[in-house]
Structure 1
Amino acid sequence: MGDLPDGATPLTPEEIEGLIPSHISLKQELNACEQENILSARLWLLGKRVAGVAEARFLKELHRRMFDRTWKWAGEYRRSDRNLGVPWQRISFELEQLCREVRAWREEELFSGDELAVRFHHKLVWIHCFPNGNGRHARLAADLLAVEMGGQPFTWGQGDLVPVGKCRETYIQALREADQGRYEALLAFARSGAA
């Protein structure tokens, strides 16, 4: 299905076998199918008052809803190591740890709502829980957490972050800076109108 853009997760042959629509042979067809599936998840969320975003059970269900018409393994943790992310055996532990951290950050009011949600997003991407869709999942989860805390969803550069382009490049660079403990660029990008 073509070359992967910078920061994309390669799939194993077993994971590719989990593709539900049999007509897909091109990367752009897969992207369109996944986007339609994500739209369905957003409709499911519409009008819901979501509480407990930073809970592993909810995060797995969110991923399942975002990709359940595209991938048989939607909502299931990956079962192999990747070019990024924690070793697959540590996913559950790291995600539970992140959820505990988010609760503590909120209780102690260590960060503004935006910074807390952006740090949550970054750590979700860093853990890389799922075979595919981690960035899109983490952005939607961060949006939901921001709203849960009384804020607004992020704009994420108001561009398409799936294909190669300036918006994706800016996003990936901001994630790399966050890997070094510098969140300013990611926070600015999350609220930016354009990259």
Structure 2
Amino acid sequence: MKTTSLLYGLVAGVTVLLASCATDLDTTRVPMSAATTSNDSSVAGKLRQSITQYRQSIGKSQIPRHAALDRMAMDHCHFMARNRGKFTLGSDNISHYGFEERSLLAQRQFGMASVAENVAGGVIRGDIPSQLTHAWTSSKTHAYNLKQNWDATGIGVYVADDGMVYATQIFATKTNSQMQMVDRFRQF
């Protein structure tokens, strides 16, 4: 019993230490959205159409859209906009920060086995969806995600008042594990 208490105390102490070392980022929670329609004329909907055209040109099928993954992607776009200039890897304005949490949420709440994401940002003049698709297909690692066989995707695009564009696409594959239900019950 003392070992267990000591272990919990040590874990709590490390957690507080790690939390105190984190950057000061705004992480507002937003509830999941309702289902999206296939006739989506938003920038995100047009980006989905552009990506679908790309996938079809290489012999791949359309990835079904998942409303909760859409919400997660859009939340991440808003997060990047709120924290603009605070990121330190690659770009001050875009980041995969929080991907682990998005991945775990998709796995635990929506039964996804594997999760990946593409992010992009910048001031884009002209056709935003086609330019984002071109940027992702021109990048080896982003194109790799676009070419895989996924069961679901979510897309978010936010355009700030100054023209800065933030885009996130989350990809996921559903789990076929017989143990998924057992694993979910073990959480309680």
TM-score by length of 1: 0.28
Flag the structure with larger Rg. Answer: 2
Which has the larger share of strand? 2
Query: Quick one: higher RCO (CA 8 Å, sep 6+), 1 or 2?
Result: 2
TM-score, normalisation: structure 2? 0.29
Which structure's residues are more often helix, by fraction?
1
